[in-house]
Structure 1
Amino acid sequence: MPHHLLGIIDPEVDFSVHNFVHHALLAADAIVQKNQLPIIAGGSNSFIQALLNNDTELPSKYECCFLWMDLAIPFLHSYMSRRVAQMVDNGLMEEAKIFFDPEIRDYDNGIKHSIGVPEMDEFFRSEGLVDGETRTKLLKAAIDEIKMNTCKLACRQVLKILRMREEFGWQIHRLNATEVFLQHGGDANEAWEKLVLEPSMNIVARFICKENIDLKPTAYEQLV
């Protein structure tokens, strides 16, 4: 499946909501012209809200189906903490340092505004100025701050989804994936297929084909 709008913007350049709406509409139209289904995956809820605002072309041209894969908050925070640790192991520090400038503290533009970059500032500035023990403490503090800010962002995203439901009346299908993260190995794969994949495919099939497919109430929750 081809992906769109990846790698099209310089990391140093601000990518506004207006920019996203413009590029997303062009991509959606191009996909539909090929008789394919556009899928908007992930991203900022503010961007999605702007794309589906009545001021844009998309709501007047296309029907929309909303799928929301959710986790219970404690599991969501635990997963994100592990994910941040994994990102550190995979080179987060080296990637963030590319955007570090010892002369200025400007983290308001482009990718520098993203979680994972400004939190590392003090650690990078301490290089060659403090002992190893202090550096270790500064690194731990930076990683802890990244984890905290990531969890705060997740909570804001959930609240934003609920507000979009209330303010705009969107019918949002909530897929509870908590059980998937409680399982391991083959059991996790089975839970994923039962609680996320199968209900998602059924919801989309019903949306596209207008089929009257009965969904198990335990598999998903429709927020109306």
Structure 2
Amino acid sequence: MRLPLFPAHSHHSSPSILQYSSLTLLPTTTTSSSATSGARRRLRWPRMDSSSSAYHRHRRKDKVVVIVGATGTGKSRLSVDIATRFPFSEIINSDKMQVYRGLDITTNKIPIHERLGVPHHLLGEVNPQNGEFTPSGFRSRGGSIVSDINSRRKLPLVVGGSNSFIHALLVDRFDPESDVFDGSSSTSISSEFRYNCCFLWVDVSLPVLSDYLSKRVDDMLDSGMLDELAEFYDPEAKDLEEDSAHRTGLRKAIGVPEFDRYFRKYPPPRGMVKVTDPKEEDAYEEAVTAIKDNTCQLVKRQIGKILNLKGAGWDLRRIDATEALRAAVTSENSGTNNKKWSEIWERQVVESSVKIVKRFLKE
């Protein structure tokens, strides 16, 4: 299941682009001299080399809102909700599978109609045939996008569950040869950022999130995930069946290796895949169970990395979405179409997040 779409809001209290357009401007001042009384002029920073320490102490950092959280917690939904309240926002995807073109259902990309016209960057833009899109590559591409968005006096929202991408993009000094999350690196997680960051951490209790993700996998399969994977299946990749270390790009996406094993036993026909044979059905259910189990394992790894970031001094503002997702699952199980869960989401998740972002923009 996917968190249902909410309509765009246009509350009179929502900030306008004019209200915060000064975010990327140099400060101004009013002089009281007789020659320039009442006139406003731009303050000019002293000229200095951009690599000097004085420059880094005094330069004004771009503002960035960052939404982190495990898969399935509603980050994409929240990013669009925030962008409708702050209509000068643009979203930068930081999910390492969703950056690639293809497998839209399997990687759970937010559909175009649910983006509500909000610009999205690095969502299905990278050609998977070009090899692995690394954290270093994301830092370069993402950094250019952040600079472009800020140069147009708009607000970048960095959203996704790939904490290695988020770390690479945000820290002031990044070592592409070191993985700060693998536990063996001598390089620690830095809390010095090259941007002025506001962090929102969308969190859901593990039992509730597991129930939600199980239903989401079922819904993805109902939406055509099996046919998508059948078309993507490469029978020549047999040697990579169990060797995940040699998988690259989209071949790492959860769902690909699980159904690769299934398709090797039961090669997909042309056209729609139909499971009818009892043995084939058992193999199919085995693949689905593996997808659900591996998704839950991914969630645990993501939460571990988020806790590492928080322990390193990242100011992650926790937003608890447990009650909203519990209500969504309950509503789905009972077959009802009540709005209770959406009211909880609005009150406990969206409103809390908007307040934090408003304060951040006014700083």
Q: Same fold (TM over 0.5)?
A: yes
Give the match for residue 145 of structure 2.
27
Equivalences for residues 129-144 of structure 1 within 5 A: 132-144=277-289
**The residue matched to 1:35 in structure 2 has which SS?**
coil
Q: Distance in 2 between matches of 1:158 and 1:30?
A: 31
**The residue matched to 2:234 in structure 1 has which SS?**
coil
Q: TM-score, normalised by structure 1?
A: 0.86
Deviations, residues 57-96 of structure 1 (Å, cap 9, x unaligned): xx65420011011111100111111111111111111111
Gaps of 5+ in 2: 1-117, 175-191, 269-275, 332-337
The reply on whether 1:115 has 2:233 as its aligned counterpart is no
The reply on whether 1:149 has 2:282 as its aligned counterpart is no
**The residue matched to 2:259 in structure 1 has which SS?**
helix
Give the structure with the higher percent helix: 1
Preserved contact between residue 96 and residue 120 of structure 1 (Cα < 8 Å): yes
Amino acid across the alignment from 1:153: L
The reply on whether 1:124 has 2:263 as its aligned counterpart is yes
Give the match for residue 182 of structure 1.
326
Give the match for residue 123 of structure 2.
6
Q: TM-score, normalised by structure 2?
A: 0.54
Amino acid across the alignment from 1:150: T
**The residue matched to 2:236 in structure 1 has which SS?**
coil
Amino acid across the alignment from 1:127: Y
- Answer with 118-127 or 69-78: which moved more: 118-127
Count of residues in Structure 1 that have an aligned counterpart in Structure 2 = 206
**The residue matched to 2:200 in structure 1 has which SS?**
strand
Percent of counterpart pairs with the same letter?
39
Give the match for residue 193 of structure 1.
346
Superposition CA RMSD, Å: 1.8
Amino acid across the alignment from 1:143: V
Preserved contact between residue 164 and residue 170 of structure 1 (Cα < 8 Å): yes
The reply on whether 1:36 has 2:154 as its aligned counterpart is yes
Q: Report the structure number with the largest CA radius of gyration.
A: 2
Gaps of 5+ in 1: 211-224
Q: Report how far residue 101 of structure 1 moved.
A: 1.7
Amino acid across the alignment from 2:314: W
Give the match for residue 218 of structure 2.
85
Deviations, residues 190-221 of structure 1 (Å, cap 9, x unaligned): 111110010100000011103xxxxxxxxxxx
- Answer with 6-15 or 110-119: which moved more: 6-15
Preserved contact between residue 99 and residue 112 of structure 1 (Cα < 8 Å): no
